[in-house]
Structure 1
Amino acid sequence: METSTVMPDFLASNLDYLLWGNLAHGAPGGLLLSLLMSVAAGIVASALGLAGGTALVMGGPRLRSVLKTLVVLLRAIPVLMLIFWCYFLLPILFGIDIPGVLTVIAALAIINAAYLSQSVQSGIEAIGRGQWGAGLSLGLTRWQTLRHIVLPQALRIMLPSFINQWITLIKDTSLAYVVGVAEFTFVATQVNNREQVYPLQIFAFVGLGYLLVCGGLELLGRRWERRWRYGAA
């Protein structure tokens, strides 16, 4: 009974900080920062994954061999380890101070691009050879056939894999706390350390936040699938 009366006031007093951190002072944090990192890393990972998967199909033997080795290595590295590497190595390599947020975005983009490149490769290879032959018989080059005929069909096959990987990426932003980035889990831990009264409620709220975001993305992905399936614009 006491918890039910205190909980609304407790959430109200910490809700702004949990959702967007010190945004009023120009430092976004909390759930907002997690979403911003997810969007940035997702865009970069999708672009790199599309390019890498296409190269795995269209590239020469040497390029494909190098890319396959790189993908295997990246998939074998824990995300947490890659975040540490980017955080400590990128400033040394470039000789400048790189914000922790950018190093986390770089790490998430790189490792998710490795997974997406294999999804792209599988999607392209799933299209029958007849589609390639039809494009070539129309006078299109191999790259033109890929762009105008094969890739649009392959994207429909790839979409579920992309959605799953984006959801994984959103959840992996919680690992940014290890380098002091004030994402959702980090600010929740700060609130919990300050209050030391409601750990269950605080982290249940964090879980609910991730559930709503990831669930919303999954529903959006299903809607895209239905639109493509029935040829809606």
Structure 2
Amino acid sequence: MVFTDTHTHLNSEQFDEDRHQMIQRAIDSGVNRLFIPSIDSEYTEGMLTLAEEFPNNIHLMIGVHPTHVKENYKKELAIARTWLESGKFVAVGEIGIDLYWEDTYIDLQKKAFRTQVQWAKEFGLPINIHCRNAFKEIFEILEEEKSDRLFGIFHCFTGTLEDAKQAIGYNLKLGIGGVATFKNGKIDSFLAEIPLEHIVLETDAPYLAPTPYRGKRNESMYVIKVAEKLASLYHKSLSEIAEITTQNSIDIFGV
């Protein structure tokens, strides 16, 4: 079985002591397709190094994370654009709007998100969306930017069934991770109503570890726990979940 982790921060400082061992554990367990989202320019070189060390397993996205959109966001966008033009990246992400911590930079976040969505359409690449307390704002921009060239993944989906259907309407797959295994995660109550063709697996490691590891550091091999939850919800075998969600990731990323 081949599993795909469509969103894992393998270059996080939380993996500094055992990064290569952690990645190898994932590969050895069958999670051998790993996609790293970008945060800002400080993380790019580390991402590129990992992709060189694991060329058959690790693929990269480029973009400016909404929580890192500050007064200097135009400089960060310019750096991301230059990297995007290099052709080394398979998606624009993670990008979006985050109003959980504060709304000081909401206007800048909206501008940065729209700009990067437009880049993705220009380059024919998928987007990887970060949305926290901002479904309304995200959907407003997607509605204005929707086209046949807009597609990607709604990362760490935690919305309602109506939100899910709206996201799918913009050619987005739903990135399902550890939250689906939480007792209070809520999305497990309706997830089976969403056809599997719209679902991809993710961990968001080192964050949001699935049950039974909740509260501990997450890592990519734990995406299998998410797959096991989906197998239960959809009444499918684990191998079917692996095959379908991996094919969905291939359809999105093209690799």
Do they fold alike, i.e. is TM over 0.5?
no
Compute the TM-score of the two structures, normalised by the length of structure 2: 0.21
Compute the TM-score of the two structures, normalised by the length of structure 1: 0.22
Answer with 1 or 2: which has the greater Rg. 1
Greater RCO structure (CA 8 Å; 6+ sep): 1
Higher strand proportion, which one? 2
